[in-house]
Amino acid sequence: MAILSRNPRLHSTRRLVEAIRALGHRARVLDTLHCNMVLAREHPTIFYRGEEVGHLDVVIPRIGASITAYGLAVVNQLDMMGVPVLNDAIPIARSRDKLRALQLLSRFGLDIPRTAMCRYRDEVAQVVEHVGGLPCIIKLIQGTQGVGVMIASTMDEVQGMLDTFWDLGQEILLQEFVAESKGCDLRALVIGDRVVAAMRRQARTGEFRSNIHRGGRARSVVLPREYAEAAVKATRVIGLEVAGVDMLESRTGPKIMEVNSSPGFEGLERATKKDIARMYVEHAVELARSRQAGRGAPRARV
Ligand SMILES: Nc1ncnc2c1ncn2[C@@H]1O[C@H](COP(=O)(O)OP(=O)(O)O)[C@@H](O)[C@H]1O
Ligand SMILES: [Mg+2]
């Protein structure tokens, strides 16, 4: 089994390697950016540090947000080689584009914070009304660990932020601020078709973003059924095998903010004391076995 990861010392990567070995399999960490793809008629391959990668039963991709494009190309190359990958390239791409993900989630009946997008300065005030007025959330379409998520309390702030991001060539979303969540959110880890662990994260004082990387504190929770079902459905709608689903607890039930395709699980293992890495690997083994059993060998989807 191989893990695509820039850094073997990252917690989640290290834990996956441990779990693979504990389950009696061989583990290899491939630095995604060192995977040199060679394309030739009917013989797609990857060379890694000078050698052709040998047979791989299954690959677990951990693609950081900063190398999404190269990472997706490597995942696609593995797919062309007939190697099962735990999360395919198209669903990973959908999850990285917050607007696309929200379009799909809402289209398939999941609730999300009201979200809007526009590109003309003089239409911003109207669009803010569409998301419930001020304060409102402003989000970069691609962002992670809370970076790129802001709150604006006045129209001047909204205009200032939009002008800055538009000048930088960034598209942004305007979103309803779900105030009743009070700096809390839920993170559910979905593997296959069930939630294997979940935590409630509370933002530190003076902060509305509950990400662990922004100082949020986490506690293990058992999700109410409505929330667990929403997380599993969101994962399926995006098309992922494994996902970290972020949800707000609103007056009307779960509102899904985003679906992460390479969720780190250090905070979740610490909060829940569960062996998440093992469950991850067991699922990868299952995927490899079902693929070997003949369900669609080289898939080569176009
Ligand atoms: N619409 C919202 N209303 C209230 N809080 C929000 C909203 N959107 C995001 N947040 C807070 O900001 C955090 C980060 O947002 P998220 O969309 O998950 O981006 P990231 O990819 O950076 O984690 C969330 O975990 C939540 O605490
Ligand atoms: Mg998040």
Q: What is the pLDDT, as a whole number, of residue 295? A: 60
DSSP state of 65: G
Which domain CATH number covers 247? 3.30.470.20
Listing DSSP states for 30-64 in one string gives E-GGGEEEE--TT--EEEETTEE----S-EEE---
Considering the domain architecture, whether residues 155 and 230 belong to the same structural domain is answered as no
Contact 168, 182 (CB under 8 A): no
Token reading at 301:
């989807």
302 residues of the chain, pLDDT tens digit each: 999 999 999 999 999 999 999 999 999 999 999 999 999 998 999 999 999 999 999 999 999 999 999 999 999 999 999 999 999 999 999 999 999 999 999 999 999 999 999 999 999 999 999 999 999 999 999 988 999 999 999 999 999 999 999 999 999 999 999 999 999 999 999 999 999 999 999 999 999 999 999 999 999 999 999 999 999 999 999 999 999 999 999 999 999 999 999 999 999 999 999 999 999 999 999 999 999 997 655 554 44
Residue 56 lies in a domain: yes
Share of the chain above pLDDT 90, in %: 95
CB 1 near ligand 1, within 6 Å? no
CB 181 near ligand 1, within 6 Å? yes
**Residues in Cβ contact with 273 at an 8 Å cutoff, skipping those fewer than 6 apart:** 220
CB 241 near ligand 1, within 6 Å? no
Token reading at 174:
């305007």
CB 44 near ligand 1, within 6 Å? no
Angle at 104 between CA 129 and CA 245, to 5 degrees: 90
Element at 59 (helix H, strand E): strand 59-61
Give the domain range for residue 231. 94-111+181-261
Considering the domain architecture, whether residues 206 and 124 belong to the same structural domain is answered as no
Considering the domain architecture, whether residues 201 and 102 belong to the same structural domain is answered as yes
CA of 86 to the centre of ligand 1 (A): 25
Which domain CATH number covers 72? 3.40.50.20
pTM of the model: 0.96
CA of 30 to the centre of ligand 1 (A): 31
Considering the domain architecture, whether residues 168 and 20 belong to the same structural domain is answered as no
Residue 290 lies in a domain: no
For residue 61, the number of C-alpha atoms closer than 13 Å in the C-beta half-sphere is 35
CB 101 near ligand 1, within 6 Å? no
298, 299, 300, 302 alpha-carbon torsion, rounded to 10°: 180
Q: List residues bridging with 116 in a β-sheet.
A: 174
CB 143 near ligand 1, within 6 Å? yes
SS3 139: strand
CA of 146 to the centre of ligand 1 (A): 7
Atom 17 of ligand 1, residue of closest alpha carbon? 257
- Phi, psi values for residue 254, rounded to 5°: -70, 135
Residue 302 lies in a domain: no
Atom 14 of ligand 1, residue of closest alpha carbon? 146
Residue 298 lies in a domain: no
Q: What is the pLDDT, as a whole number, of residue 298? A: 52
CA of 212 to the centre of ligand 2 (A): 9
CA of 9 to the centre of ligand 1 (A): 27
Spatial CA neighbour of 190 closest among 152, 127, 233: 233
Considering the domain architecture, whether residues 35 and 56 belong to the same structural domain is answered as yes
Residues 264, 244: Cα–Cα separation, whole Å: 8
Rg (CA), the chain: 20
- Phi, psi values for residue 273, rounded to 5°: 60, 20
Considering the domain architecture, whether residues 100 and 219 belong to the same structural domain is answered as yes
Angle at 168 between CA 162 and CA 169, to 5 degrees: 90
Residue 77 lies in a domain: yes
CA of 97 to the centre of ligand 1 (A): 14
Chain segment 266-297, per-residue pLDDT in tens: 999 999 999 999 999 999 999 999 999 976 55
Chain segment 166-214, per-residue pLDDT in tens: 999 999 999 999 999 999 999 999 999 999 999 999 999 999 999 999 9
Considering the domain architecture, whether residues 171 and 246 belong to the same structural domain is answered as no
Select from 217, 246, 260 the residue to mutate for testing ligand 1; criterion: most ligand atoms less than 8 Å from CB. 246
CA of 265 to the centre of ligand 1 (A): 18
8, 9, 12, 17 alpha-carbon torsion, rounded to 10°: 50
> Among 86, 103, 123, which residue terminates a domain?
86
Which residues of 162-209 form beta strands (DSSP E)? 172-176, 184-191, 194-202
Considering the domain architecture, whether residues 133 and 48 belong to the same structural domain is answered as no
Considering the domain architecture, whether residues 68 and 192 belong to the same structural domain is answered as no
> Among 47, 69, 86, which residue terminates a domain?
86
Contact 71, 78 (CB under 8 A): no
Q: What is the pLDDT, as a whole number, of residue 143? A: 87
Tally the domains of the chain: 3
Considering the domain architecture, whether residues 219 and 105 belong to the same structural domain is answered as yes
How does 215-234 read in b/e, with b if 16+ C-beta sit within 10 Å?
Answer: ebebeebebeeebbebbbbb
Q: Which ligand is nearest to the CA of 95?
A: 1
CB 264 near ligand 1, within 6 Å? no
Considering the domain architecture, whether residues 49 and 67 belong to the same structural domain is answered as yes
Considering the domain architecture, whether residues 78 and 141 belong to the same structural domain is answered as no
Residue 282 lies in a domain: no
Residues 271, 217: Cα–Cα separation, whole Å: 9
